[in-house]
Amino acid sequence: MEDDLVRSVPTLELARYLGLWYEQGRLPLRFEDDEARDVTAEYSLAEDGTVTVDNRCLDRNGEPQRALGQGIPDPEHPGRLRVSFLPEKLRWLPFTRADYWVLRVDDDYRHALVGTPDHRYLWLLSREAQADPAAAESFLQTARDQGFDLEAWIRTPQSGAVVSF
């Protein structure tokens, strides 16, 4: 089975993972402009124990875009969330949540590799707008080792700005 190679981290300190991350790169997404820049993801803990996911970027025309989602942590696997970006009223529908697995995070929670068990989606995140090149390459090697094909990898342009609304 394909997801045999994909492994989430065995432990994740959610409190340390929360906060702002800059996307350094990704595999193409049907719901994100391939030319998007200044892509960020901010995670915060909601009162009900779910994780609020606030993704922002500038699209190819320089227009700000935002996607708000909700992640439900998997109590059996700390490095896994089930995430939905549907409007809140529709999140109860079955099959509307996607796997979001933290595949690697460094000891100081400065870099993270996130992917899906079917190898379709992958993100490299950093706490800084410009990730350390050696760290980024090491994390991408982890992706390759877990069976991800990086031929279509998109490097995300980052100015250091956080898109506001």
pLDDT in tens, 35-78: 999 999 999 999 999 999 999 999 999 999 999 999 999 999 99
pLDDT in tens, 68-79: 999 999 999 999
pLDDT in tens, 96-125: 568 999 999 999 999 999 999 999 999 999
In this structure, what DSSP letter does residue 154 have? E
Q: What residues have CB less than 8 Å from 16, skipping those under 6 apart?
A: 109
3-state secondary structure of 137: helix
Whole-number Cα distances in Å, 121 to 10, 64, 98: 20, 22, 10
pTM score, whole prediction: 0.91
Whole-number Cα distances in Å, 108 to 3, 12, 17, 79, 127: 27, 12, 10, 16, 10
81 HSE (CA, 13 A, CB side): 22
Radius of gyration of the chain (CA): 15
Mean pLDDT for all residues in the chain? 91
